[in-house]
Structure 1
Amino acid sequence: MSENTPLLETKDLTRHFRIGGGFSGNNLHAVDQVNLTINRREIVALVGESGSGKSTIARLLAQVYKPTSGEIVFEGKPLSKLRGRKAQLAYRSDVPMVFQDPFASLNPAYRVSHGIERGLKLHRTELSSAQRAQEAERVVEAVGLNPAGEILQRYPYELSGGQRQRIGFAQALAYRPKLILADEPVSMLDVSIRIGLLNVMADLRETEGVSFLYITHDIASARYVSDRVMVMYGGHIVEAGPTESILQEPKHPYTQLLLSAVPDPRAPLSVDAETAKAEPPKVINPKPGCRFRDRCPLAEAICHEKTPVLQELAPKHEAACHVAQRATAGASA
């Protein structure tokens, strides 16, 4: 397989949830026709507010949910073609997930070593008991917890929130993953220790060659750690591109809204506070049109009639916005 082949990509990935009973006819469009790619040794940030569909994408990629339609392709192979428990375990070993709540992700009845070694026994059957213990120490040291032997013998209640989240990364790392799905991994931690966890992600990318999908509502932390940013709103990807390009020259009004909350003089402030207070997107049986239109100060008639699709407006920088696309076309004419 070519090194240029994406590690993971989605093709029109869609997930709808039926709500209100079987005869209501109401469907919540959590994720609609999302196309994303993650390359080897890359950190991609998926940014958006609560309810935008970010965590649904993570659970689709982790195979917690099945897609309503569309496909997930890992190392050139569609996940829909996976057959048998062995193939499923192999994928989950390659693409583990680190969850948001460090206080709920570890079993309080067991020592820290139990969860790591149990995962090793399931996913790396070739290791002996002594080798599992040795590997557990290695991954705990890799996430910056020392002395590893002492940490492994503690119970979860003896660890801080930051230490627990590092153990979450250690558990994922023990499987020798190729991609870690990190769903809001620092949102429940004190600001003073968030940078340490972000540095763990960056270090693991360099030392272990792991890619990350970093899911967050905090666009400032995306700037700190990611190579590329994808901005999500109402189940759609509305903007995607290299991190600095997205954050220095955002094309979509929603990205501008996210940046307006960041105390950074480089961030454009073109969306006012009234926009931030407007109604959330309508994702139950949504009608055609831009899902940001009711909050957007730039919305035009076409925004209520036709759903915009991603178009490249700058090198490797895409946005799904009728107004931005017309402005770019006019500037290049």
Structure 2
Amino acid sequence: MTSVDVEPGVTESAATPVIEARDLSRHFRVGRGFFSKQQLHAVDNVSFSIGRQEIVALAGESGSGKSTIARLLAGVYKPTGGEIFYQGRPMSSFKSRKDQLSYRGDVPMVFQDPFSSLNPAFRVSHGVLRSLKLHRPELTRQQRQDEAAQVIEAVGLTPAGDIMDRYPYELSGGQRQRIGFAQALAHKPKLILADEPVSMLDVSIRIGLLNLMAELRSSAGVSFLYITHDIASARYVADRLMIMYAGHIVETGPAESVLANPKHPYTDLLLGAVPDPRAPLSLGIEGDTGEPPKVVDPTPGCRFRWRCPLAIDRCHVETPVLRRLGENHEAACHVAEADAGVAG
């Protein structure tokens, strides 16, 4: 696969954040009994921003905290710590129903499962029209019909009238997922949170959905947080890539820079599992050994240390923070060296 070309001016416009997370954390109480004090640290002290007309991929294994971040940004979960800023305004200040509806219209989600995201009892048009009625009440009934047809055509489903009259079971998985994007697009969003939107689709139709994201970025001016465990698809569509492990962002930077010159051992491990001829040569990490991450009441130190063959004593006592190791390229690793891959 080849990377999607960034439209002229996108890099400049991306400098202004649509959304920004500062020291964002989300912990869940676990353990037996109501009075249990054990805490699962799903997300810990995460900071990042997403610019205008920018596609940012968040990649990592299952359980790394990716979907928790999406639900924090969507307002499904409240942060345990830190703050989310939307266009410079703290999300915690959105108290009124009007503010919350406006935000959820600006930052909708597209979910992983195209088969359960649509109500089988209603025609395809129902979800799109309902979104328009809720988030754009100024539209008349006829205007809602016209807008629904427009957004359905915008996601590549034609003729729109025929598609709108169908029931979900009459559509393929790829068509259903496009309807999910149409429902999000109906809000005139600023940022779409796409949580593993192609993982349940056949490989043959994934590329169409990834191209759709790039097209919507160009035509509708929308940004994306693309959550995935698939490094190859992240390389194909993303401007920037964030690698997440055990609640921490361990590496971030331009997608090509991170994948061509990984700084963190975990990124190298992910790349080693991808059958991609463009992936860099192995940096000496021969396999995945050691214990899974400890995220219930974790102790200080790198959470990857039990699986990392490059771990030193410092990794067991001090939690690494993101530091710059190249142009706009950061990694949270004690042994990583600037512009030289991962040090041995």
**TM-score normalized with structure 1 length:** 0.96
1:270 corresponds to: 283
1:16 aligns with 2:27: yes
Shift of 1:5: 3.2
Match of 1:7 in 2: 18
Greater percentage in helix: 1
The separation in 2 between residues aligned to 1:327 and 1:201, in whole angstroms, is 31
Instruction: Report SS of the residue matched to 1:35.
Output: strand
Q: Is the 8 A contact 2:18 2:49 kept in 1?
A: yes
Question: Secondary structure in 2 aligned to 1:323?
Answer: coil
Q: Secondary structure at the match of 2:53?
A: coil
Residue 269 of structure 1: how far off its partner (Å): 1.8
The one-letter code of the counterpart of 1:9 is: E
Q: Structure 1 unaligned segments of length 5 or more: list them.
A: none
How many aligned residue pairs are there?
329
Amino acid at match of 1:222: A
Partner of 1:85: 97
In structure 2, runs of 5+ residues without a counterpart are 1-11
Residue 4 of structure 2 aligns with which residue? none
RMSD (CA atoms): 1.8
Residue 324 (str. 1) matches residue 331 (str. 2): no
Partner SS for 1:30: strand
Q: Is the 8 A contact 2:214 2:237 kept in 1?
A: yes
Change (3 A) 1:129 1:159: same
Does the residue aligned with 2:26 lie in a helix, a strand or coil? Answer: strand
What's the offset of the Cα at 1:281?
A: 0.7
Q: Is the 8 A contact 1:256 1:271 kept in 2?
A: no
Please point out which of 301, 311, 321 is paired with 1:289.
301
Give the Cα–Cα distance (whole angstroms) in 2 for the partners of residues 169 and 7 of structure 1: 19
CA distance in structure 2 between the partners assigned to 1:215 and 1:330 by the alignment: 25
Kept in 1: contact 2:198–2:206 (CA 8 A): yes
What's the TM-score, normalizing by structure 2? Answer: 0.93
Structure 1 residue identity aligned to 2:26: R
For residue 17 of structure 2, give the secondary structure of its aligned residue in structure 1. coil
Does structure 1 conserve the Cα–Cα contact (< 8 Å) formed by 2:64 and 2:245?
yes
Q: State the distance in 1 between where 2:206 and 2:341 align.
A: 41
SS at match of 1:288: coil
- Other-structure match for 2:80: 68
Q: In structure 2, the residue corresponding to 1:322 is in which secondary structure?
A: coil
Equivalent position of 1:44 in the other structure: 56
Q: Which residue of 2 aligns with 1:212?
A: 224
Could you list the runs of 4 or more consecutive aligned residues of structure 1 that deviate by over 6 angstroms after TM superposition? 326-331
Contact kept, 8 Å, 1:311 with 1:325, in 2: the verdict is no
Closer, same or farther: CA 168–329 of 1 in aligned 2, 3 Å: closer
Closer, same or farther in 2 for the Cα pair 1:191/1:79, shift >3 Å?
same
Matches of 2:278 and 2:134, distance apart in 1 = 48
Deviation at 1:274, TM superposition (A): 3.4
Q: Counterpart of 1:274 in 2: which secondary structure?
A: coil
The share of aligned pairs that are identical, in percent, is: 70
